Structure 1
Amino acid sequence: MRAVTISRHGDESVLELTEQPIPVPADGQLLILVRAAGVNPVDWKFREGEVRTDRRFPLGMGWDAAGTVVATTTADGPAVGDEVYGMLPLPYAGAYQEFAVLPVSAVATKPVKLSFAQAAAVPLAALTAWQSLDAAQVTAGQRVLVHGGAGGVGHFAVQLAKARGAHVTATASPRNLDFLCLLGVDEPLDRTADDQHGIEPVDVVIDTVGGRTQQDSWRLLRAGGTLITLPEPIDETYRIPGITGRRVIVAPDGEALRNIGQLIDSGAVRVEVQDVLPLEKAAEAQLISRTGQVRGKVVLSL
């Protein structure tokens, strides 16, 4: 099978389109004919060696897959021929390839309204948003601020928070403010403007950006609020007493994907795909992702 692999850590030049044996599913796993694979920031961080694995080179790439089940080792879950989407467990990549093995517990039936390319854009990013909102115990009536609301995780976070009945504020670049409005954001904010001091204190901040953004987020929260950070651990230097701060690292969850899929098919959640590139352009896809300027997601088509 065709597969994008790396034989060492490095820049995008280490990505190789290679021939690999088709993986064999173990107990509790499915073999999927991959039709599309999502591209996430963790992909290039893994390629560069920031995310480590105990497996030996050559290593596969990617965690988001959408395709058709071609073999299963269990009577539970999707059957052969079913169209599914799911996330491989971190740190074991292997979605940028023609066949992928996933735990049955990590997949769900593909939303009817989505193409394979759109479906591949969902799992890791939407699950990160879902699990972040769960960690913050977001409920109806709360005020939620999402930094980077037009990005992969961000555009799901704002919509899922709205689906829970929250009042949502989100930051984005000026070109994406109208897009935030399309997603249902109550208060779109220009992230390049120094106007965040005047916003009403919020109950929850979802920080998809990190760095200075995390540092500044503490003072935007009310007493008893929660800061969820995604790209990096909590910087204890800036912690404010009385505010909860924690980092969320995504985990596969087929049941959550089923719930997210229902929201997608109902029209409550929109999936934004900026670019769809062929598998052989994986390096270009990761370069686009690395800019941090992607609206929604980049996807590889197989």
Structure 2
Amino acid sequence: MRAVVFSRYGDESVLELSERPVPTPAAGEVLVRVRAAGVNPLDWKFREGAVGTDRPFPLALGWDVAGEVVATSAADGPAVGDEVYGMLPLPHGGAYQEFAVLPASALAPKPVGLSFAQAAAVPLAALTAWQSLDAAHVVPGQRVLVHAGAGGVGHFAVQLAKARGAHVTATASPRNLDFLRRLGVDEPVDRTSDGLHAIEPVHAVIDTIGGRTQQESWRLLRAGGALITLPEAIDEAYRVPGVQGQRVIVAPDGKALHSIGALIDNGLVHVEVQDVLPLHKAADAHRTSKNGQVRGKLVITL
């Protein structure tokens, strides 16, 4: 099978398109013919060496897949011929290739209204958003702030928070404020302004950026609220008493993907795909992702 791998850490030039053996599913696993693979910032961070692994080079890439089941060694789960989508377990990738092995429990039926490319944009980002809202215990009527609401995780977080009945504030660049409104955001805020100073204190912050954004988010929370950060651990120097602070690291969850898929098929969650590139242009996808100007997701097709 064709696969994008890398044999040393580095920039996009280390990516290589090679022929690799088709993997064999172990007990409880499913072999999927990959039709599309999602691209996430995690992918290029892994390529640069920022994500640890105990596996030898060459290393495979990617965690989001959408495709068709071609073999299964699982007693339960999808059957051969089913169209599915899911996320490979961290930290070992394997989505940028023509066949991928995943635990049956990590897969769910592909939403019927989505193409394979659209479905591949969902798993890692939407599960991150879902699990972040769970960690913050978001319930109807609460106020939620999502930083970078037009990004991969962000655009799912704002919609899933709305689906839970929350009042949603989200930050974005000026060019994406109308996009946030179309997603249902109640208070879009220009991230280049000081507009967050004027918002009512929130019950939860979903921080997809880290650094100064995390540090400044504490003051935006009401007592008993929750700061959920994704790219880095909580900076204890800025922690505020009476407010929960937690880092969420996404995990595969086929049951949650079932629920997310139902929201998508019912029109409550929109999947934004900025661009779709062929497998041999994986390096271009990494460059675009790293520049931080992606609305929604990038996808690689096979």
Pairwise TM-score range, normalised by the shorter structure:
over 0.9
Deviations along 1:173-223, one digit per CA (max 9) or x if unpaired, are 000000000000000000000121111100000001111110110000011
Deviations along 1:65-85, one digit per CA (max 9) or x if unpaired, are 000000001231100000000
Moved over 3 A (4+): none
Contact 2:28 2:75 in 1 (8 A): no
1:135 Cα deviation (Å)?
Answer: 0.3
Tell me whether 1:7 sits opposite 2:39 in the alignment. Answer: no
**In structure 2, what is the equivalent of residue 198 of structure 1?**
198
What aligned pairs does 1:173-212 form with structure 2 within 5 A after superposition? 173-212=173-212
Deviations along 1:47-76, one digit per CA (max 9) or x if unpaired, are 000001111111100000000000001231
Q: Distance in 2 between matches of 1:29 and 1:202?
A: 41
Q: Distance in 2 between matches of 1:278 and 1:151?
A: 21
What aligned pairs does 1:163-242 form with structure 2 within 5 A after superposition? 163-242=163-242
Unaligned runs of 5+ in 1: none
**In structure 2, what is the equivalent of residue 54 of structure 1?**
54
What aligned pairs does 1:228-267 form with structure 2 within 5 A after superposition? 228-267=228-267
Q: Which amino acid aligns with 1:156?
A: F
Q: Which amino acid aligns with 2:43?
A: D
**In structure 2, what is the equivalent of residue 276 of structure 1?**
276
1:163 Cα deviation (Å)?
Answer: 0.3
**In structure 2, what is the equivalent of residue 31 of structure 1?**
31
Tell me whether 1:125 sits opposite 2:121 in the alignment. Answer: no
**In structure 1, what is the equivalent of residue 76 of structure 2?**
76
Secondary structure of the residue aligned to 1:74 is coil
Tell me whether 1:101 sits opposite 2:101 in the alignment. Answer: yes
Q: Distance in 1 between matches of 2:155 and 2:204?
A: 16
Q: Which amino acid aligns with 2:273?
A: V
Equivalences, count: 302
Q: TM-score, normalized by length of structure 1?
A: 0.99
Contact 2:68 2:84 in 1 (8 A): yes
Secondary structure of the residue aligned to 1:213 is helix
**In structure 1, what is the equivalent of residue 18 of structure 2?**
18
Deviations along 1:126-181, one digit per CA (max 9) or x if unpaired, are 00000000000000000000000000000000000000000000000000000000
1:236 Cα deviation (Å)?
Answer: 0.7
Q: TM-score, normalized by length of structure 2?
A: 0.99
Unaligned runs of 5+ in 2: none
Tell me whether 1:291 sits opposite 2:291 in the alignment. Answer: yes
1:292 Cα deviation (Å)?
Answer: 1.2
Q: Distance in 1 between matches of 2:121 and 2:55?
A: 26
Deviations along 1:75-112, one digit per CA (max 9) or x if unpaired, are 31100000000000000100000000000000000000
Contact 2:288 2:294 in 1 (8 A): yes
Secondary structure of the residue aligned to 1:224 is strand
Deviations along 1:16-42, one digit per CA (max 9) or x if unpaired, are 000000000000000000000000000
RMSD: 0.5
Secondary structure of the residue aligned to 2:43 is helix
**In structure 1, what is the equivalent of residue 90 of structure 2?**
90
Secondary structure of the residue aligned to 1:53 is coil
Deviations along 1:256-293, one digit per CA (max 9) or x if unpaired, are 00000000000000000000000000000011110111
Q: Which amino acid aligns with 1:258?
A: H
Secondary structure of the residue aligned to 1:25 is coil
